[in-house]
Structure 1
Amino acid sequence: MTCTSPSSGPAADPRRPEAAPAVVRRPAASWRLGAGIAAAALLAAVCPATAVAAPDTAPAPRLAWATCADGFECATARVPLDHHDPRGAGIDLAVIRHPADDQAHRIGSLFYNPGGPAVAGTLALPLMLGQFPEQVRKRFDIVSFDPRGTGASAPVQCFDNPADEQALLAGTAAGYPEGAEQQNTWADAYQRLARQCAARNPDLLPHISTANVARDMDLLRRAVGDRRLSYLGTSYGSYLGATYANLFPDRVRAMVLDSAPDPVAWSTGRGDQATTTGTLLRNGSDVAASRVLDAFLDQCGQAGTQTCAFSAGTAAATRARYGELLQRLHTRPVAVDGMTYTAGSALEATIISLYATNPAPGIPDTGWSHLGTRLQTLWAATEAPSTPGTPLPPVLRQSPDQALAVVCSDSANPPARADYPALAVSARARSGEAGPYFAWTDERCADWPARDRDRYDGPWNHPTARPVLVVANTGDPAMPYEGSRAMARSLARAQLLTVDGYGHTVLANPSDCAARYETRYLIDGILPAPGTVCVPTKPPFTG
């Protein structure tokens, strides 16, 4: 039997604004840019889901927009903490928008989620706005927000003082643990972190799932006056988009999912994977990172020292040099620019640096050429004689609280009694040095105390009112290309646009070709032909 969306109706002109009934505005507390719900188409009878949208009884938030940065407006949106109790306790979401440049021909709002999870949209949108195609910026108000539990939206905070969290994690190995002693210390620290988070956020943690963020976004859609949602989500934001598309299939106007996971692998896995393999390993993130690391070292070697300072002259020699660098750091960590690098932290920094092949907006010290320079600096530091008795600075760790709150309550992971050391060994066998890093990143969820009862675990094939466009780089180091292919296959109405290039997300690694197809789709609803392949505008080591 084919699942249908009973309320989709005939497709309207995608260029026409789809306005909801006017929303009465009232003054609300303004939010400044800082540093730092309807039922889902009642398909359950035919295609039962493990979770459904909460009843559409919550009022749309009233947004009082105020200037918060050059060209941007911000507001605060009040949404229910528990969408099953829409008139009960509420939380405030920080919202930001950039008004359409051509208001006379404005189509509506395009919602943007930068991924993470737990990346604040209010900070990401100003950085990434210039990456959006020009015609998209002209025709849409681009709207983003800090998802619940993140940034300035009822943030998950596990410690009053960040120094206390640093002290808790200071004894854990940088990157990932090796040997029984380090592994036990790691597991104990993240068990204590989970307990601390539960004690400090007892009301919030049970309601932090992606599905509840999707329900929040549907309220924001109503608040800005759009009948259907236009959306662009990158990385984990593509999973949020897929969740929305299956909770509210009749409300999808246009949806670009950039660098997606396999939704089944991300949520539960297949068979017994939920209890035997963690989220990132199921997703194949270790394999993706290993492949792209090899590609970086190969291209660095071929590029020569003028564009990649770490080049050893050939691909094979450069790969060998990187392996030797990790061995050196394993026996003798070094300090560079006030930071300590161990083998684990150097590997972690390398993987993250693969995300942008060229300097990212607002972050000039990024790109593969910069990574080559950083690795050469570490190589030189390992050759310099050490000074006896000179203490190394502590390895500072970014707080994982908000990201763990989403992933650990939203996605199935093996419990603490699982054999994570064996998972790490298996991961190393299939993906080299990257494998254990991802296995032990998953372990941080082993003792997490909460899973959201309203999370969405599928099915992922509810037919949407309009088709979805999935976009992906073939050489993505975080979300493997195979995940985007699986996402396109899983959704009932989706098309895959391939970019034969490297880097995490097409938005951050631009392709003029892909941008033209995305623009045509978002404005006119026209998909690229099946099998379309684009190339990046600027490949690695070309600038």
Structure 2
Amino acid sequence: MSGTGRPAVKGDGMDMAGVIPGRRCWTAVVAVMVACSTVLTGTDRAAAGGPPAPTAPVPRLDWQPCVPGGPFDCATATVPLDYGDPGGRTVELALVRHRATGPGRRVGTLFFNPGGPGGPGTVQMPQNYGLFPREVRERFDIVSWDPRGVGSSTAVDCFATRQEATAWTASKPAGVPVGAKQRADTIAAYRDLARRCAQRDPELLRHVSTTDSARDLDLLRQAVGEPRLTYLGISYGTFLGATYANLFPGKVRAMTLDSNVDARAYADGALGDAPLTTFLRLGSDRSAAEVLERFLTLCGSTTTARCAFSAGGAQATRAKFDELMRRLRTHPLGDWTYGRTAAAVVTGLYVVDPGWTDVARALQRLWQGRVPEQAQRPAAQPVPHPDPYLGDEQAAAVLCGESPNPRSPGAYHTLEEQAAARAGDAGRVWAWAAAACVSWPAVAADRYSGPWNRPTARPLLLVGTRYDPATPYAGARALAGELADARLLTLDGYGHTALINPSACVARYESRYLIDGTLPPPGTTCRQDTAPFPAPTPVGGVATGGGALARDRS
């Protein structure tokens, strides 16, 4: 999901200095989910195969350079707020495009969603453009957009000023609340947020669902002149892709879904009270705990030159981490509380290189009683809208409006203890990631909850990472089995999404599939280019990757 902070260069996650590099890719939020008492009507119709929505006009896109002389073009699309009433109120979508770089070799347009929900594509596509496979950049115009309710599009914004938003953020503890008072402060803050949102624009809150965004995407496809959709979605963007594929199965040309959300677990059940949060249904807590265990094991198995937090062995490093977290629960180091540190560790594991190294350095500084330093990153490519407002309410509006979660405030502490019993500190983080939904004031008017197996015009390619701290590999396997025609490509590695944890092997298969529809053989597995805790690069030296390997396990 999402969090607070400003996007940096690479995709999902938070470095230990508090920067969330692609802050809207599926989960850096430690606060987002639903609890509503009204009953859905809109997409109960869609799920039941009812009559199609009335036809909406295709928007006209006037592409202009985002920045004079820059490589990206910008445009604005006008679409209906409510597809059931296309002649009524409209909303605007902010778009960004990079043209294909290979003259005369263009295949078409590739649409990209960076996850979230709430990922600002106008920021994250330019920032991550260089991570797209070279052949994909050569052959496709790459287009992304801020989904409705987000960023520079018509946005959910529940505060009159940025100062109000900042004060609200300060009213609750960062990350996991510790103790009865912090738990009460967290629930009170989200009740206050719900009240503010209900007063600002309640109509908009009902029309920012994934289904609405899928309908937007189909209009954008038509607006760029594509007869069928070519799409890459990562993290939450995989749920958007799966929704589009089942609402518009005949319009799929090629669709790659990277770090997959189990669609049935996300959307299962009627909105209202639920025994588990979305993330606990997805198994994010267990997956994150497994990745954290691998982090500590690998750290302890190498030298402090490679992993600063190493205690000289896997067991000793795990004991050192547990002791540090116990210490922070009672004696925070400045702003570095237990809750903030636990959340930062989980999201810091999203990006293997240099994320894992940064997490280890920050943990070691905390162990020594020092505040972590700000991680230094190369300057990002200039983006057209570098700092849009990305408040927690934007992710909450989507998730809390369409995915079932507990309504009782007391449920979150109970679930925290249950999740901690099975997943330790990572379980506490994921148990509270849905807390915004306890009082959320709106239900999506158009919500798709299945079926997920409508035959598509072309097969889909899914990419699942073996050790993913946000979207478990089991979710990729589940979605591959749920969709009518999908092939799963496994990345035998770590982190959240293959896009931001590159593999030349995955890039080759993705390129071939997106360009000409060729799928990898069943059972194909790839390795990452860079293993965790790589050797430091000597001054004046050249960094080399760990290589890539594909093997057919069919």
- TM-score when scaled to structure 1? 0.84
Q: 1:233·1:257 contact (CA, 8 Å) conserved in 2? A: yes
CA deviations 1:225-244 (Å, max 9, x no partner) are 00000000000001100000
Q: 1:292·1:477 contact (CA, 8 Å) conserved in 2? A: yes
Amino acid at match of 1:257: L
2:28 matched residue in structure 1: none
Q: 1:194·1:449 contact (CA, 8 Å) conserved in 2? A: yes
Query: In the TM superposition, what are the counterparts of 1:218-367 in structure 2 within 5 Å?
Result: 218-268=218-268, 275-335=274-334, 340-359=335-354, 367=355
Cα distance in structure 2, aligned partners of 1:315 and 1:61: 57
1:539 counterpart = 2:514: no
1:529 counterpart = 2:517: no
Q: 2:271·2:404 contact (CA, 8 Å) conserved in 1? A: no
Query: In the TM superposition, what are the counterparts of 1:370-409 in structure 2 within 5 Å?
Result: 370-381=358-369, 399-409=391-401
Amino acid at match of 2:291: V
Cα distance in structure 1, aligned partners of 2:362 and 2:220: 42
SS of match in other structure, 1:419: helix
Amino acid at match of 1:98: H
Amino acid at match of 1:61: P
SS of match in other structure, 1:180: helix
Q: 1:146·1:152 contact (CA, 8 Å) conserved in 2? A: yes
The one of 462, 482, 507 equivalent to 2:474 is 482
Cα distance, 1:127 vs structure 2: 1.1
Cα distance in structure 2, aligned partners of 1:124 and 1:284: 26
1:216 matched residue in structure 2: 216
Cα distance in structure 1, aligned partners of 2:504 and 2:127: 19
1:167 counterpart = 2:173: no
The one of 30, 47, 57 equivalent to 2:55 is 57
1:434 counterpart = 2:426: yes
The higher-RCO structure (CA 8 Å, 6+ apart) is: 2
Amino acid at match of 1:343: Y
2:71 matched residue in structure 1: 71
Query: In the TM superposition, what are the counterparts of 1:124-203 in structure 2 within 5 Å?
Result: 124-203=124-203
SS of match in other structure, 2:112: strand
Cα distance in structure 2, aligned partners of 1:331 and 1:400: 28
Distance 1:153 1:398, change over 3 A: closer
Cα distance in structure 2, aligned partners of 1:525 and 1:505: 21
Q: Which has the larger radius of gyration?
A: 1
Distance 1:272 1:215, change over 3 A: closer
Cα distance, 1:179 vs structure 2: 3.2
More moved, 129-138 vs 218-227: 129-138
Amino acid at match of 2:422: R
1:469 matched residue in structure 2: 461
- TM-score when scaled to structure 2? 0.82
Amino acid at match of 2:248: F
Q: Which 5+ residue runs of structure 2 have no aligned equivalent?
A: 1-23, 25-44, 373-388, 536-554
Cα distance in structure 2, aligned partners of 1:80 and 1:168: 31
Q: 2:271·2:402 contact (CA, 8 Å) conserved in 1? A: no
Distance 1:525 1:383, change over 3 A: closer
Amino acid at match of 2:525: V
Cα distance, 1:474 vs structure 2: 0.3
Residue identity (%): 51
Distance 1:113 1:230, change over 3 A: same
Cα distance, 1:378 vs structure 2: 1.3
2:108 matched residue in structure 1: 108
Distance 1:128 1:528, change over 3 A: same
CA deviations 1:381-417 (Å, max 9, x no partner) are 2699xxxxxxxxxxxx983111111110121112136
More moved, 63-72 vs 205-214: 63-72
Cα distance in structure 1, aligned partners of 2:323 and 2:371: 12
Q: Which 5+ residue runs of structure 1 have no aligned equivalent?
A: 1-35, 37-46, 360-366, 385-396
SS of match in other structure, 2:213: helix
